[in-house]
Amino acid sequence: MFQATIWPEFFYSINNFTAGMSALPWLGATFILWIIVAKSFCYVQNIKFKTISFFWLPLLAIWLAGFALADMTAYAKELKANQQLLVYNSLERQDYRVCEVIFGGPEKAMEACPLGVLFEKIKDNVGPEDKIYIAYPPEIFNFYFRLRLLPYYQLTNKPEEAQAILFFMPNQQLDCSGETKEKLICRNNDGKIWGTFDLVANFGDAAGLLIRQE
Partner 1 sequence: MLSILIFIALMLTSGYPLLLRLWPESDKLSRWPLAFLLGSSLITLELFFWIFLFRWPSNYWLLLFFITQIIVLWWWFDCWHFNWWVSIQQLSTSLKSWRRGNILVYFLGLLLLAQIVIGASVAWMKPVVHYDSLTMWTLKPALLLADPAGFFDGSSPHFQGLAGQPNYPWQIPLSVWLQAKINGELDPAYLNYIYYAYFLSALILIYSALKNQGRLKALIITNLLATTPLFFYHSWNAYADLPLAVYALAGLIAWLAYQRGKISPWPALIFWGLAFWVKNEGALFLAVALIILAVQLLQNGQWRKKWQYALMALPVLVWLIWLKLTGLGLAQTSGSLGWHPEVLMAFFSAFWSFTSWNILWYVAPVFLLLYYKEIWRNQAWRLAWLWWVGVLLSFLVVYLFTPAYLYAVEFTAIQRNIIILVPVLFLLIGLEEEKKDE
Binding site for partner 1 (CB under 8 A): 2, 4, 6-7, 10-11, 14-15, 17-18, 21-22, 24-25, 27-29, 31-32, 35, 39, 49, 51-52, 55-57, 59-60, 62-64, 66-67, 70-71, 75, 78-79, 81-82, 85-86, 89-91, 93-94, 97-98, 100-101, 138, 140, 143-144, 146-147, 150-151, 157
Burial class (CB in 10 A: 0-12, 13-18, 19+), 116: middle
Closer residue to partner 1 (CB): 81 or 185: 81
**Is 145 in contact with 134 (CB distance < 8 Å)?**
yes
Q: How many CB atoms lie within 10 A of CB 36?
A: 10
Closer residue to partner 1 (CB): 92 or 198: 92
Question: Smallest distance, Å, CB 89 to partner 1?
Answer: 8
Question: Smallest distance, Å, CB 209 to partner 1?
Answer: 20
Question: Smallest distance, Å, CB 85 to partner 1?
Answer: 6
E strand or H helix at 211: strand 207-212
Type of residue numbered 121 = K
Question: Smallest distance, Å, CB 49 to partner 1?
Answer: 8
Q: How many CB atoms lie within 10 A of CB 187?
A: 14
Closer residue to partner 1 (CB): 4 or 44: 4
Closer residue to partner 1 (CB): 77 or 187: 77
Burial class (CB in 10 A: 0-12, 13-18, 19+), 42: middle
Closer residue to partner 1 (CB): 60 or 206: 60
For residues 210 and 132, give the distance between their C-alpha atoms in angstroms, rounded to a whole number: 10
